[in-house]
């Protein structure tokens, strides 16, 4: 395991990044978008929603003039690609600017943004209302392992000093070692963020991945947009967009079915119990157990609790 100065390190390449034009980035995303949205335009709900979208566009002009920003904070493999089109189309209906950001702050004129990895410095953006989506880290690790084996995301192809990318290294080892690589990568990029996350912020609604995948998800959808301050047509639009972009309504692969080369391989919670070996679980709980405790995910090994 890669441990130096008692700190977990990632196996991802940190060398010079290869350059890819914006046009090429868009081209490489086309097959992924087709797979993710295969059923979308064949869904009658998509076309039935358009009058509501246009009505909101005409009637919600005051929204863009308000100072409070609204956002959704996600993490890798925790509904980022789900909320991105929802917020983008919702922003169009509200007549305001949408941004997808990582560590930076949104532009002053932006009213709606997606905070990938939930690293946005919220203290620097002024008044806000947000939603934070959390998924069991162990399920994220399993989903990430399979996804990283084939993804074309640029970071996974950055070579290290020996000319090997993260994906090269992941493909060169067996599943057991590959999962350890994924665990180290996850901890390296997420531990500090999750340790410092404020669960008591009254302006952020904590939402679990399980709730958004469960049978009562419609109730959760409504709660999200009520918390974000949307009413009437805008609230209805948000809820209908959430329904529209559920994986089972737009993906070529039916919901609940495992697909090794889908962006969302499996939405099933607790899959880590079938995929992780005891050594993986022990390592996670030793290095990351306090995060599991913080967000209410039961440990598999109570004797490892501190």
- The rounded distance, in Å, linking the Cα atoms of 248 and 238 is 18
Model confidence pLDDT, tens digit, residues 142-195 = 999 999 999 988 889 888 888 899 999 999 999 999 999 999 999 999 999 999
Q: In which residue are the tokens 């979208």 written?
A: 53
Residue 306 has pLDDT above 80, yes or no: no
**Tokens at 10, concatenated:** 């990632």
Q: Which of 39-48, 65-74, 211-220, 267-276 has the lowest mean pLDDT?
A: 39-48
pLDDT of residue 220 exceeding 90, the answer is: yes
CA 103 to chain centre: 14
Dihedral angle computed from the Cα positions of residues 179, 181, 182 and 188, in that order, rounded to the nearest 10 degrees: 150
What lies within 8 Å, CB to CB, of 287 at 6+ separation is: 8, 187, 191
Is the pLDDT at 87 greater than 60? The verdict is yes
What b/e readout covers 23-55, taking b as 16+ CB neighbours within 10 angstroms? eeeeeeeeebeebbbebbeeeeebeebeebbee
What count of other Cβ atoms lies within 10 Å of the Cβ of residue 214? Answer: 13
Domains annotated on the chain, with CATH = 21-304 (3.40.50)
* pLDDT per position as a tens digit, 232-275: 999 999 999 999 998 666 555 554 455 555 545 556 788 999 99
Tally the C-alpha atoms within 13 A of residue 265's C-alpha that lie toward its C-beta: 19
Put simply, whether the predicted model's pTM sits higher than 0.75 gets the answer yes
At residue 36, the pLDDT reads: 60
Assign 2 a pLDDT band (cuts: 50, 70, 90): very low
162 within 8 A of 103, measured Cβ to Cβ: no
pLDDT of residue 31: 57
């Amino acid at each position: 395991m890669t441990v130096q100065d008692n700190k977990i390190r990632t196996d991802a390449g940190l060398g010079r990044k290869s350059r890819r034009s914006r046009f090429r980035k868009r081209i490489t995303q086309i097959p992924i978008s087709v797979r993710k949205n295969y059923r979308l335009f064949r869904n009658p709900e998509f076309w039935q929603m358009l009058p509501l979208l246009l009505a909101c566009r005409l009637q919600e002009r005051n929204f863009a003039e308000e100072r409070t920003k609204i956002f959704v904070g996600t993490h890798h493999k925790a509904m980022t690609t789900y909320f991105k089109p929802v917020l983008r189309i919702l922003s169009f209906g509200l007549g305001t600017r949408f941004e997808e950001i990582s560590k930076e702050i949104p532009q002053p004129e932006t009213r709606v943004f997606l905070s990938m990895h939930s690293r946005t410095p919220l203290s620097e953006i002024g008044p806000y209302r947000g939603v934070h989506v959390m998924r069991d880290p162990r399920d994220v690790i399993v989903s990430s392992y399979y996804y990283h084996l084939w993804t074309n995301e640029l970071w996974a192809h950055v070579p290290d000093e020996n000319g090997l990318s993260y994906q090269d290294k992941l493909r060169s080892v067996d599943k057991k070692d590959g999962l350890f690589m994924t665990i180290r990568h996850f901890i390296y990029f997420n531990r500090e963020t999750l340790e410092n996350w404020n669960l008591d912020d009254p302006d952020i609604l904590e939402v679990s991945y399980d709730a958004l995948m469960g049978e009562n998800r419609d109730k959760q959808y409504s709660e999200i947009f009520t918390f974000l301050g949307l009413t009437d047509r805008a609230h209805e639009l948000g809820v209908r967009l959430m329904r529209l972009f559920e994986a089972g309504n737009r993906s070529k692969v039916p919901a609940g079915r495992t697909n090794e080369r889908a962006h969302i391989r499996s939405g099933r919670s607790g899959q880590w119990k079938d995929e992780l070996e005891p050594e993986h679980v022990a390592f996670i709980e030793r290095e990351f157990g306090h995060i599991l405790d913080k967000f209410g995910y039961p440990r598999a090994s109570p004797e490892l609790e501190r």
